[in-house]
């Protein structure tokens, strides 16, 4: 059921243009800033097109509250994903605590447990909080990208950046970085979190029907898109590094 | 109640076995456990047994008002219940992480793939639609709940019959099963999920992990496909890093498995349909196997026998030839290894001790027990020469005078730590009694 | 009551000189530092396929054969001899847990504190039961790091009269990387207040005590009201500290003093305005350069 028509909207026109005028493999504009909060250990704000997310990292610090989570050999990563009530077209009743948010939080936790070198911090806890301020598709990817920047800002060692992107499959063409209209159009979408240098997949999630033969092409397109995002994040981090080192006069 | 943690020995054992491509129950790496699908008396009730994992799914329907943004589509609702009946680790009431994970995966697998034609569930557009509710209950948790749940859910949906509805003008009549035969749901395809578990940072992979294997796994990859080789959902969980090739390989394996399972599923549905038509007995009570207490019969477990002969040969080769049977009346002190008969003790240090112990032990021995002692000594010498057979004695009775040296390994406690040495040394230590 | 509101403005990008772009020693996670296997790896790096790779974003520091990467911002990593200011979070058996902005709470053992009155004796069971009378949850203390446990937690001691429970004053929480390491971290500033620059980023400002309490042993807190002039000095110092921290200037007694002097003709509450902050910090940096050069 791979259709390009949804209520008259063509997700991919004959000339190869999408709803917002992008080409099939073009990403949305990514803008990011690190160190937006002074009191958190690490923070970042990221915009990918119209989707805006804010990520804050606290830690590593002593485990507060329940002692049962203490792991003697590594740090525990605690993630919370929430959407602002004003982030979607209709006001969100439950910003967090519902199944979708819990699932997203679990996915974020899983992604960062793979990338952050937690063995260096036994018996401590790292908190990652992400909030979506405006939702226009690709929520998970934007969260992961924002959280990566926040973790780097906090000085927590990571193997590599974690870049994420969503791709969809329409008319035998993979579309990179889906927006909300494309996502809800019943398009098979795949969200991928990748560590660009090693090409390792930290999280792979796909919904809706896709024939097995197209899987390879789709994953390839996703990896290329993630690497593109990775380049942008890299630039942001390097610029921030230079700015701060100039200020500290080192 | 909290789950008992897995001991390190068990964990190491499982991981090592997986490295040698062996599984606890003798399966191959890509084998599923024995699957059994049975149905209850009502339409829409289905039990799935995957090895010892047991899952029940029940489908029910209700007329409700549709959602505002989808006025002519029916509603599908999925719910997985993890009750403490399945495993003491599950807590009643609290929505644990696993429960959220399974629920979301089942939702994505069945709802987002649009396996059911929701528009056919519409009765009166904007006013009345059918709400189909699938409740899956875990009855026993022995690993791989996701696969069992997905199979149970889709089978129950295929099995379910909803009441027929008649519309005359503005009136809507719902016919009971006696008035008109209930109609099955229109199902486009049957998505089935296959779980792959990864071990040792993704080096080894297993299909259909049992509960023990799930405990030691690094992560899980769930691929839901249908028999037309369309992937309905992929989800990786656990903190593993995958490579694209691994994902592609898993998808190929999944397509094979899914076609097998779909066949089994269709056959089960067929059988049930036939049974109902013939008026035969069907239902849950009938499908329970007759496990009488008097018949202590279990299925044969397959035992890995492929390299038994080689290993046996190795062990036999390693052992040295048994020493010659000593026919002399002088019985050596129990515990003395016959490395060479009558040779001087070259260890030097313990000469005085040795002579003392020899004397005190010799005084205790009786002549009649010579022969039995000999045999036991030989056994024990054999064992000591192995080097890898460790005799650990916890006995504190070193001061007890030994009359019957059947248990010659009453070594003092301090030799336990040194019992890993080769045969000669081990036997030498026993001289120190 | 006057309120100050302003719309957000685009921040001026920090002017980067050309040389800043060529700096090769700034790395990001995943960057390969060297493929030479002759180097030892220090903090902030990991080995991947015989290649030494950075795991944090920061500056590469090389000491002989040791390569490590120092991140820009990190939690406090204590070393023996550091002066820290911390808050007591828990009272446990024979020790207190103190929160010091590091990755695990620091520990203050009962045997490492001076008993009130300055007695030197073995701690009895009674001492253990009356621990709460000395330090409770929420108390602020200054201490020195005695040793580091194997898991990274710090063990502290207050075995000197200058350490102990802190009384009235203002706590400013900053990043540990902004505090310069010096011989002494306790300063009596000539402007009329005293400052403790904890290595963990916590800075304590308090009015200079008139006489030194010799026998207090650090547990007696002076709760007499502090005069208005002292309070003003302390508030001004606090705002100056925040201004310096916002511009990532290294903090030590001289820089704080210069900043205080540069801010004299502004009102205390104006110091937090962005343009005033910039002005003050620029003046401070100028003065510091003059002093060095």
Residues B224/B207, Cβ–Cβ less than 8 Å: no
pLDDT level of residue B196 (50, 70, 90 thresholds): very high
Task: Answer whether residue C22 shows pLDDT above 80.
Answer: no
Interface of A with C in 133-192 (CB under 8 A): 152-161
| Residues B210 and B149 reside in one and the same domain | yes
Nearest to A212 among B229, B237, B243 (CB): B229
Do the Cβ atoms of A121 and C152 come within 8 Å? yes
Q: Distance between CA atoms of B148 and C96, rounded to whole angstroms?
A: 51
Do the Cβ atoms of B230 and A211 come within 8 Å? yes
Choice among A63-77, C138-152, C217-231, C247-261 with the minimum mean pLDDT: C217-231
Task: Answer whether residue C108 shows pLDDT above 90.
Answer: yes
A-chain residues near B97 (CB < 8 A): 102, 106
Q: Distance between CA atoms of B227 and A132, rounded to whole angstroms?
A: 38
Task: Answer whether residue B286 shows pLDDT above 80.
Answer: no
Q: Which domain holds residue C56?
A: 38-72
Q: Distance between CA atoms of A84 and A101, rounded to whole angstroms?
A: 12
Residue appearing with tokens 């003395």: B336
Structural domain contains residue A52? yes
What are φ and ψ of residue C51, in 5° steps?
Answer: -110, 135
Average of pLDDT values for A49-75?
89
Do the Cβ atoms of C59 and A250 come within 8 Å? yes
Please count the other Cβ atoms lying within 10 Å of the Cβ belonging to residue B70. 14
Average of pLDDT values for B250-271?
91
Q: C191 CA to chain A: closest CA distance, Å?
A: 26
Per-residue pLDDT reduced to its tens digit, B96-141? 888 888 999 999 888 888 888 888 888 888 888 899 999 999 999 9
Do the Cβ atoms of A201 and B113 come within 8 Å? no
- Tell which phi-psi region holds residue A65, choosing left (phi > 0), alpha (psi between -120 and 50) or beta: left
Task: Answer whether residue A116 shows pLDDT above 50.
Answer: yes
Max CA distance (Å), chain A: 59
Q: Which domain holds residue B368?
A: 310-430
Average of pLDDT values for C222-232?
85
Q: Closest chain A residue to B110 measured between Cα atoms?
A: A208
Average of pLDDT values for B208-214?
90
Average of pLDDT values for A142-167?
94
Q: C-alpha distances in angstroms, C10 versus C7, C13, C272?
A: 10, 9, 18
Q: Distance between CA atoms of C258 and C262, rounded to whole angstroms?
A: 6
CB neighbours of B329 closer than 8 A, spacing ≥ 6?
B367, B370
Residue B182 is given by DSSP the state P
Structural domain contains residue B386? yes
Structural domain contains residue C22? no
Residue B357 structure tokens: 């112990």
Query: Which ipTM was obtained for this model?
Result: 0.87
| Residues B231 and B141 reside in one and the same domain | yes
Taking only Cα atoms into account, the Rg of chain A, rounded to an integer number of angstroms, comes to: 19
Q: C-alpha distances in angstroms, B348 versus B339, B420, B424, C32, C192?
A: 16, 22, 15, 60, 83
Task: Determine what percent of chain B is predicted with pLDDT higher than 90.
Answer: 22
Task: Answer whether residue C253 shows pLDDT above 60.
Answer: yes
Do the Cβ atoms of C58 and A155 come within 8 Å? yes
Bridge partners of C211, per DSSP, are none
| Residues B228 and B128 reside in one and the same domain | yes
Residue A158 is given by DSSP the state B
Q: Distance between CA atoms of B219 and C81, rounded to whole angstroms?
A: 44
Task: Answer whether residue B402 shows pLDDT above 90.
Answer: no
| Residues B261 and B350 reside in one and the same domain | no
Structural domain contains residue B238? yes
Structural domain contains residue B2? no
Q: pLDDT averaged over chain B? A: 76
CATH of the domain at C45: 2.40.50.100
Q: Distance between CA atoms of B234 and B221, rounded to whole angstroms?
A: 7
What per-residue confidence (pLDDT) applies to B330? Answer: 58
The SS3 call for residue B55 is strand
Residue C50 structure tokens: 């015989």
The SS3 call for residue B384 is helix
Structural domain contains residue A26? yes
Structural domain contains residue C44? yes
Q: A150 CA to chain C: closest CA distance, Å?
A: 11
What per-residue confidence (pLDDT) applies to B98? Answer: 87
* Orientation of helix B423-430 relative to helix B370-386, angle to 10°: 130
Task: Answer whether residue A223 shows pLDDT above 90.
Answer: yes
Task: Answer whether residue B416 shows pLDDT above 60.
Answer: no
Structural domain contains residue B300? no
The SS3 call for residue C147 is strand
Task: Answer whether residue B371 shows pLDDT above 50.
Answer: no
Residues B40/B49, Cβ–Cβ less than 8 Å: no
Interface test with A, best of B112, B232, B239 (most A CBs within 10 A): B239
Our count of domains for chain B comes to 2
What are φ and ψ of residue C237, in 5° steps?
Answer: -60, -40
What per-residue confidence (pLDDT) applies to C214? Answer: 47
Q: Distance between CA atoms of A193 and A139, rounded to whole angstroms?
A: 12
What per-residue confidence (pLDDT) applies to C256? Answer: 92
Choice among A110-124, B117-131, B287-301 with the minimum mean pLDDT: B287-301
- Report the DSSP pairing between strands A76-83 and B219-225: unpaired
Interface of A with B in 55-94 (CB under 8 A): none
Q: Which of B385, B408, B382, B386 lies closest to B397 in space, CA to CA?
A: B408
Bridge partners of C206, per DSSP, are C194
Do the Cβ atoms of A123 and C246 come within 8 Å? no
Q: Distance between CA atoms of B35 and B258, rounded to whole angstroms?
A: 13
- Report the DSSP pairing between strands A173-176 and B53-64: unpaired
Per-residue pLDDT reduced to its tens digit, C77-96? 889 999 999 999 999 888 99
What per-residue confidence (pLDDT) applies to B198? Answer: 92
Interface test with A, best of C60, C72, C171 (most A CBs within 10 A): C72
What are φ and ψ of residue A15, in 5° steps?
Answer: -80, 0
Q: pLDDT averaged over chain A? A: 87
Per-residue pLDDT reduced to its tens digit, B161-194? 888 888 887 788 888 878 888 888 888 889 999 9
Per-residue pLDDT reduced to its tens digit, C119-171? 677 777 777 778 888 888 999 999 999 999 988 899 999 988 888 888 889 99
What per-residue confidence (pLDDT) applies to A1? Answer: 36
What chains are in contact with C, requiring at least 3 Cβ pairs below 8 Å? A
Residue A149 structure tokens: 């920047």
Do the Cβ atoms of B234 and A100 come within 8 Å? no
| Residues B223 and B339 reside in one and the same domain | no
Do the Cβ atoms of A210 and B231 come within 8 Å? yes
pLDDT level of residue C50 (50, 70, 90 thresholds): confident
CATH of the domain at A53: 3.30.230.70
Q: B409 CA to chain A: closest CA distance, Å?
A: 39
The larger pLDDT score, comparing residue B363 to residue A198, is at: A198
Our count of domains for chain A comes to 1
Task: Answer whether residue B433 shows pLDDT above 60.
Answer: no
pLDDT level of residue A108 (50, 70, 90 thresholds): very high
What per-residue confidence (pLDDT) applies to A28? Answer: 92
Beta-strand runs (E) in B208-336: 219-225, 230-237
Please count the other Cβ atoms lying within 10 Å of the Cβ belonging to residue C93. 7
Task: Answer whether residue B258 shows pLDDT above 90.
Answer: yes
Q: Which domain holds residue A81?
A: 22-247
Structural domain contains residue C65? yes
The whole model's pTM is what?
0.80
Structural domain contains residue B13? yes
Does the beta carbon of A212 lie under 8 angstroms from any beta carbon of chain B? yes
pLDDT level of residue B429 (50, 70, 90 thresholds): very low
Structural domain contains residue A16? no
Q: C80 CA to chain A: closest CA distance, Å?
A: 19
pLDDT level of residue C259 (50, 70, 90 thresholds): very high
Q: pLDDT averaged over chain C? A: 86
Residue A191 structure tokens: 């969200």
Task: Answer whether residue C206 shows pLDDT above 70.
Answer: yes
């Amino acid at each position: 059921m791979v259709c390009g028509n949804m209520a008259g909207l063509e997700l991919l026109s004959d000339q190869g243009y999408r709803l917002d005028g992008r080409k099939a493999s073009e990403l949305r504009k990514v803008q990011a800033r690190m160190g937006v909060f002074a009191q958190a250990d690490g923070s970042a704000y990221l915009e990918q097109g119209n989707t805006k997310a804010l990520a804050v990292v606290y830690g590593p610090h002593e485990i507060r509250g329940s002692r049962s989570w203490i792991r003697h050999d590594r740090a525990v990563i605690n993630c919370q994903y929430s959407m602002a009530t004003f982030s979607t077209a209709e006001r969100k009743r439950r910003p967090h605590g519902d199944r979708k948010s819990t699932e997203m939080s679990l996915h974020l936790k899983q992604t960062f447990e793979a990338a952050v070198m937690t063995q260096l911090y036994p018996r401590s806890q790292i908190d990652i909080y992400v909030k979506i301020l405006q939702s226009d598709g690709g929520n998970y990817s934007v969260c992961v990208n924002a959280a990566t920047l926040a973790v780097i800002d906090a000085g927590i060692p990571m193997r590599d950046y974690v870049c994420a992107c969503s791709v969809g499959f329409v008319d035998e063409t993979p579309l990179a970085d889906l927006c909300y209209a494309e996502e809800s159009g019943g398009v098979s979408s795949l969200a991928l979190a990748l560590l660009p240098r090693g090409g390792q997949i930290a999280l792979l999630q796909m919904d809706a029907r896709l024939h097995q033969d197209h899987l390879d092409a789709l994953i390839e397109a996703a990896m290329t898109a993630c690497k593109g995002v990775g380049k942008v994040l890299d630039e942001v981090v390097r610029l921030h590094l230079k700015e701060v080192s100039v200020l500290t006069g080192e | 109640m909290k789950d008992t943690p897995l001991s390190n020995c068990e964990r190491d054992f499982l991981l090592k076995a997986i490295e040698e491509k062996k599984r606890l129950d003798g399966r191959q790496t890509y084998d599923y456990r024995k699957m059994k699908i049975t149905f209850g008396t009502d339409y829409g009730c289905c039990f799935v047994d995957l090895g010892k994992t047991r899952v029940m799914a029940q489908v029910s329907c209700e007329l409700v008002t549709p959602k505002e943004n989808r006025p002519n589509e029916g509603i599908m609702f999925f719910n997985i219940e993890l009750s403490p009946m399945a495993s003491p680790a599950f807590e009643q009431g609290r929505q644990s992480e696993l429960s959220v994970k399974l629920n979301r995966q089942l939702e994505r697998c069945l709802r987002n793939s649009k396996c059911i034609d929701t528009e056919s569930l519409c009765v009166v557009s904007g006013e009345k639609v059918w709400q189909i509710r699938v409740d899956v209950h875990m009855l026993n948790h022995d690993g791989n709940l996701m696969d069992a749940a997905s199979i149970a859910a889709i089978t129950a949906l295929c099995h379910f019959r909803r009441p027929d509805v008649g519309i005359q003008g503005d009136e809507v009549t719902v016919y009971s099963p006696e008035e008109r035969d209930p109609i099955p749901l229109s199902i486009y395809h049957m998505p089935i999920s296959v779980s792959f578990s990864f071990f040792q940072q993704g080096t080894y992979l297993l299909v259909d992990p049992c509960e023990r294997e799930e405990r030691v796994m690094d992560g899980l990859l769930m691929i839901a496909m249908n028999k037309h080789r369309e992937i309905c959902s992929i989800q990786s969980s656990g903190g593993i890093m995958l490579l694209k090739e691994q994902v592609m390989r898993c998808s190929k394996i999944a397509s094979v498995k899914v076609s097998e399972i779909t066949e089994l599923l269709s056959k089960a549905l067929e059988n049930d349909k036939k049974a109902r038509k013939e008026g035969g007995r069907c239902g849950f009570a009938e499908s329970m196997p007759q496990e009488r207490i008097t018949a202590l019969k279990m299925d044969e477990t397959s035992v890995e026998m492929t390299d038994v002969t080689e290993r046996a040969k190795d062990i036999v080769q390693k052992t040295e030839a048994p020493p010659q049977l000593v026919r002399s009346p002088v019985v050596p002190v129990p515990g003395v290894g016959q490395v060479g008969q009558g040779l001087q003790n070259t260890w030097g240090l313990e000469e005085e001790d040795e002579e003392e112990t020899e004397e005190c032990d010799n005084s205790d021995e009786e002549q009649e027990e010579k022969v039995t002692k000999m045999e036991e000594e030989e056994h024990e010498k054999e064992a000591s020469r192995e080097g890898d057979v460790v005799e650990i004695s916890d006995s504190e009775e070193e001061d007890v005078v030994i009359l019957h040296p059947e248990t010659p390994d009453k070594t003092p406690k301090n030799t336990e730590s040194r019992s890993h040495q080769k045969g000669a040394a081990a036997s030498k230590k026993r001289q120190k009694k | 009551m006057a309120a100050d509101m302003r719309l957000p403005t685009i921040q001026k990008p920090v002017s980067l000189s050309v040389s800043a772009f060529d700096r090769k020693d700034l790395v990001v996670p995943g960057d390969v530092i060297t493929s030479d296997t002759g180097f030892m790896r220090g903090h902030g790096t990991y080995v991947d396929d015989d290649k030494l790779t950075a795991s944090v974003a920061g500056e590469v520091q090389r000491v002989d054969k040791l390569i490590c990467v120092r991140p820009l911002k990190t939690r406090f990593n204590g070393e023996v001899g550091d002066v820290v200011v911390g808050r007591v979070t828990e009272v446990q058996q024979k020790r207190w847990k103190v929160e010091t902005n590091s990755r695990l709470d620091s520990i203050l053992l009962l045997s490492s504190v001076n008993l009130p009155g300055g007695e030197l004796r073995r701690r009895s069971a009674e001492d253990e039961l009356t621990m709460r009378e000395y330090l409770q949850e929420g108390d602020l203390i200054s201490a020195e790091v005695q040793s580091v446990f194997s898991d990274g937690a710090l063990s502290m001691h207050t075995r000197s009269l200058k350490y102990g429970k802190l009384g009235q004053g203002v706590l400013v929480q900053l990043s540990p990387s902004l505090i310069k390491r010096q011989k002494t971290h306790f300063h009596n500033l000539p402007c009329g207040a005293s400052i403790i620059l904890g290595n963990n980023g916590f800075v304590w400002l308090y009015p200079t005590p008139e006489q030194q309490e010799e026998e207090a042993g650090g547990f007696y807190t002076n709760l007499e009201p502090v005069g208005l002039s002292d309070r003003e000095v302390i508030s001004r110092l606090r705002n100056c500290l925040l201004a310096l921290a916002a511009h990532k200037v290294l903090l030590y007694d001289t820089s704080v003093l210069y900043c205080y002097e540069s801010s004299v003709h502004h009102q205390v509450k104006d110091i937090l305005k962005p343009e005033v902050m910039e002005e003050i910090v620029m003046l401070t940096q100028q003065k510091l350069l003059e002093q060095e050069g």
